[in-house]
Amino acid sequence: MLLKHPMEVGRKLKSGQTVPAHFISTLTCDYEGERVLQSHWGAGVSKNPYVAFTIQNVSAGGKLVVQWVDNKGESDLLELIV
């Protein structure tokens, strides 16, 4: 899956302007209510990160819930029927 997020490390531009850090800090994926992936990220992950993983024993019609929270408290949630 491709997560759309700026994943800014926080830096100072040549102009002297500061770009604050803004990155996903926690990503979780639950399949049919069971946690199948939990990761804790930092500023070193690239913009719009691509995440791939395998889930065993998946049945048609099962629900996958993907959720992330970033360092600014913003979040997103996606529910997929697989």
Give me the tens of pLDDT residue by residue for the chain, a chain 82 residues long: 999 999 999 999 999 999 999 999 999 999 999 999 999 999 999 999 999 999 999 999 999 999 999 999 999 999 999 8
> Residue 44, exposed/middle/buried by CB under 10 A (0-12, 13-18, 19+)?
exposed
How many Å is the maximal CA-CA distance in the chain? 54
* Domain tally, the chain: 1
Write the CATH number for 20: 2.60.40.10
Q: Cα–Cα distances in Å, from 16 out to 10, 31, 37?
A: 13, 46, 39
Asked if residue 6 is part of any domain, the answer here is no
Q: What is the DSSP letter of 73?
A: S
The structure tokens listed for 80 are: 């997929």
For residue 53, what pLDDT is reported?
95
> Domain range spanning residue 48?
11-81
